[in-house]
Amino acid sequence: MKKLVLTGVLLFAALLFAGTQQGYAYENVTSTPDGGCLACHTFAGGSGAQHTAHTSAAVACDSCHAGGVAGKNVASSTCIVCHPTGDVGACNLVVAHGTSSSCLTCHSACTPPPANQAECADWVGDWKFTYDNTTTTNICFDNSSIDNETFTLCDNDTAANCQCLEDVTAQQLCLEDIDPFAQCDPDNYSGSANCVCVANPFYKAPGPNGVQDVSITQALDNVTFLGNTAPCLASGTRGTTPVTIVQPDNDTAAKLGIANLTYIVFEGATFDNVTFAEILPANFTKDNDSTQFTAETLFNSIGLVSGIKSDNETPPPVCEQNLRIIPGTIFKLLSFVNPFSLFVIIAERDSGVEFDRPISIDWGTDAINDLIHIKLGKRLIFGFGFARPFQLVADDYIVTVTYGDPAAEACGELTVR
Per-residue pLDDT tens over the stretch 108-124: 556 666 778 889 999 99
The continuous run of DSSP H or E covering 96 comes out as helix 90-96
What does the pLDDT read at residue 411?
Answer: 95
Averaging pLDDT over each range in 18-22, 258-262, 347-351, which range is the top one? Answer: 347-351
Which residues contact residue 210 at a Cβ distance below 8 angstroms, ignoring those fewer than 6 apart? 130, 131
Q: Which of 62-76, 232-246, 402-416 has the lowest mean pLDDT?
A: 62-76
pLDDT band at 82 (very low <50, low <70, confident <90, very high): confident
**What is the tally of helices (H) and strands (E) in the chain?**
4, 21
CA atoms of 294 and 9, how far apart (whole Å):
18
Helix, strand, coil percentages, rounded to 5, for the chain? 15, 35, 50
Rounded Cα distance between 342 and 325, Å, is 11
Tell me the average pLDDT across 363-368: 94
Going by pLDDT thresholds of 50, 70 and 90, the confidence category of residue 179 is: confident
CB 144 within 8 A of CB 163: no
Side-chain half-sphere exposure of 170, counting CA atoms within 13 A: 11
Sign of the CA dihedral 333, 339, 343, 345? positive
Q: Please report the domains of the chain, with CATH numbers, ordered by start residue.
A: 9-105 (no CATH), 139-199 (no CATH), 210-310 (no CATH), 323-416 (2.60.40)
On the question of pLDDT at 198 being above 70, the answer is yes
Which comes out higher in pLDDT, residue 17 or 118? Answer: 118
**Strand 228-238 to 241-247 pairing:** antiparallel
CA distance 277 to 202: 11
Nearest to 225 by CA among 56, 82, 12: 12
Q: Which has the closest alpha carbon to 76: 103, 57, 100?
A: 103
For the cut 90, the answer to whether the pLDDT of residue 6 exceeds it is: no
Kindly report the length of the chain: 417
CA 237, CA 317: separation in Å to the nearest integer? 29
Which residues have a Cβ under 8 Å from the Cβ of 355 and sit 6 or more positions away? 347, 375, 377, 378, 379, 380, 381, 401, 403, 404
Q: Compute the average pLDDT of residues 68-94.
A: 73
**Which residues, including other chains, have CB under 8 Å from residue 292's CB and lie 6 or more apart?**
284, 285, 286, 306, 307, 308, 309
Between CA 264 and CA 246 the distance in angstroms is: 5
